[in-house]
């Protein structure tokens, strides 16, 4: 790659960011499509100043990651309708010093879910584990897919009820705790949106309580939940396709190009995660 005075800069801003796969993926895609741009990771303790920096340095686009997605939502100049509902953004486009915010996480999940649930029934019981920001994006994607009912299991019931309220009139959300036997045993699809297993060897639920559901984790590598489910013969997928999907939509917002998801899968599939 040839970097020169005209090279555009894109970035991911978060804390931590050193494990982010975004610089590898986007820099690869810039090169693949012949765009004179690089993509780097910026760790910050001060999201307000970091977002100002995007303008000051004419950074063309950014992804926003943990823990700044909600802060970034209030710091950009404009957001689209989806981001307004989610009150959280993961993508910024800088157009002549004006920052536009988008949420492509829910789009990445939507595509992944559609891909793996082609043969599912509309009466299937869908269970979402966790009630943080990712859960809201995932439930919003399910809403966009016309799903009418979701079971939301979380450690803290107050947070679950808050999400229930947010979606009132849009879809039916039944809130319970993480080891609700009845809900887990009748589940057809379980989506893990808790951070359990991200950096430890724990699992959010007891797999003895489930029958034969499809298990989806939003974390991009195989968590203990995904691995154990597979060992037990359950179909189980990690969140790599969701990660690639959110990057695909961010790249499209920045460049207008729909990158090859296959090329992305090949690139990231070769990494030791
Ligand atoms: P994100 O933006 O990734 O969704 P988050 O808002 O911090 O991150 O949400 C993480 C989710 O994982 C929360 O729902 C959290 O449960 P609480 O709402 O009860 O805090 C859940 N979580 C994290 N650690 C957990 C644990 N050890 N057991 C059960 N749930 C856990």
Q: Which of 132-136, 195-199, 214-218 shows the lowest mean pLDDT across its residues?
A: 195-199
Query: Is the shortest distance between the CB of 101 and ligand 1 below 6 Å?
Result: no
Query: What mean pLDDT comes out for the span 108-134?
Result: 92
Q: 270 or 212: whose pLDDT is higher?
A: 212
CA distance 241 to 261: 9
* Ligand 1 centre distance from Cα of residue 161 (Å): 14
Structural domain boundaries in the chain: 8-103+241-269, 106-238
**pLDDT tens column, 82-96:** 999 999 999 999 999
The 3 state secondary structure assigned to 196-217 is: CCCCCCCCCCCHHHCCCCEEEE
Q: Closest residue (by CA) to atom 11 of ligand 1? A: 194
Catalytic sites, residue numbers: 69
CB 221 within 8 A of CB 201: no
Q: What is the CATH number of domain 106-238?
A: 3.40.50.720
Query: Is the shortest distance between the CB of 23 and ligand 1 below 6 Å?
Result: no
**What is the average pLDDT score of the chain?**
96
Same topology between domain 8-103+241-269 and domain 106-238: yes
Q: How confident is the model at residue 150 (pLDDT cuts 50, 70, 90)?
A: very high
Q: In CATH, what class is 8-103+241-269?
A: alpha beta
Q: Is the pTM of this model over 0.85?
A: yes
Residue from 195, 203, 219 whose mutation best tests the ligand 1 pocket (most atoms within 8 A of CB): 195
**pLDDT tens column, 190-215:** 999 999 999 889 999 999 999 999 99
SS3 180: coil
How is the chain split among helix, strand and coil, in percent rounded to 5?
Answer: 40, 20, 40
CA distance 192 to 195: 8
């Amino acid at each position: 790659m040839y970097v020169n005075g005209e090279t555009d800069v894109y970035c991911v801003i978060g804390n931590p960011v050193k494990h982010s796969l975004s610089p590898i993926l986007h820099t690869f895609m810039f090169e693949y499509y012949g765009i004179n741009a690089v993509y780097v990771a910026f760790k910050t303790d001060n999201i307000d100043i970091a977002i100002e920096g995007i303008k000051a340095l004419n950074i063309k686009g950014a992804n926003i990651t943990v823990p700044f997605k909600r802060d970034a939502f209030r710091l950009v100049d404009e957001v689209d309708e989806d981001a307004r509902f989610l009150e959280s953004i993961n993508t910024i486009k800088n157009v002549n010093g004006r920052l536009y915010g988008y949420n492509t996480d829910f789009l990445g999940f939507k595509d992944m879910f559609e891909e793996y649930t082609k043969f599912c029934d509309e009466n299937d019981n869908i269970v979402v584990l966790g009630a943080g920001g990712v859960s809201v994006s995932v439930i919003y994607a399910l809403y966009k897919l016309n799903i009418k009912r979701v079971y939301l299991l979380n450690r803290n019931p107050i947070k679950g009820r808050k999400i229930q309220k947010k979606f009132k009139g849009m879809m039916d959300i039944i809130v319970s705790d993480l080891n609700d036997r009845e809900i887990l045993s009748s589940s057809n699809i379980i989506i893990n949106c808790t951070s359990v297993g991200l950096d430890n060897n724990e699992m959010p639920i007891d797999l003895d309580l489930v029958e034969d559901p499809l298990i989806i984790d939003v974390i991009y590598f195989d968590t203990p939940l995904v691995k154990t489910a597979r060992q037990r013969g359950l179909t189980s997928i990690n969140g790599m396709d969701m990660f690639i999907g959110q990057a695909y939509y961010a790249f499209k917002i920045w460049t207008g190009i729909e990158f090859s998801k296959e090329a992305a899968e090949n690139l990231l599939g070769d990494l030791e995660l």
